[in-house]
Amino acid sequence: MSLVVSLADLPAAIDTQIGWCYLLTVSDDAQPRVVAVAPTWNSDGALCVDVGKRTAANLLARPDVSMVWPPAESHGYSLIADGTATVEGLSVIFRPATAVLHRSAISEGTS
């Protein structure tokens, strides 16, 4: 089950999550790469985070990425934001384009 999150509501939605997220990129050999990051908001409404050289290279080559915040509770919703990243050195600016809260139907039957 997915619930659309407006970009205006995204900061509040992030505040309800676990406090860090996964940044998903794709490598030159088309392999998915996932790193845990703790982005912060900048003054113009973008998320900022420092990353390693490999992640920065992936983002420079393929700037369309996703960030996924795990739920704060096991039965909660994950928050998924898709957008575009720009890279300056090892600093990343992520501009969300869409966001959803998502919970698998499997989560409803587990504790």
Q: Which domains does the chain have, with CATH numbers?
A: 2-105 (2.30.110.10)
pLDDT at position 95, please?
97
pLDDT at position 73, please?
87
Two tokens, residue 17: 């999550």
Q: How many CA atoms lie within 13 A of 56 on its CB side?
A: 12
Tell me the pLDDT tens digit for each residue of 50-75: 999 999 999 999 999 999 999 988 88
Query: Distance (Å, rounded) from C-alpha 54 to C-alpha 76?
Result: 31
User: Is residue 13 helix, strand or coil?
Assistant: helix
User: Which residues sit opposite 82 in a β-bridge?
Assistant: 66, 98
Centre a 10 Å sphere on the Cβ of residue 28 and count the other Cβ atoms it contains.
Answer: 10
Print pLDDT tens along the chain (111 aa): 899 999 999 999 999 999 899 999 999 999 999 999 999 999 888 999 999 999 999 999 999 999 999 998 888 899 999 999 999 999 999 999 999 999 877 655 554
Query: Distance (Å, rounded) from C-alpha 56 to C-alpha 60?
Result: 6
pLDDT at position 108, please?
55
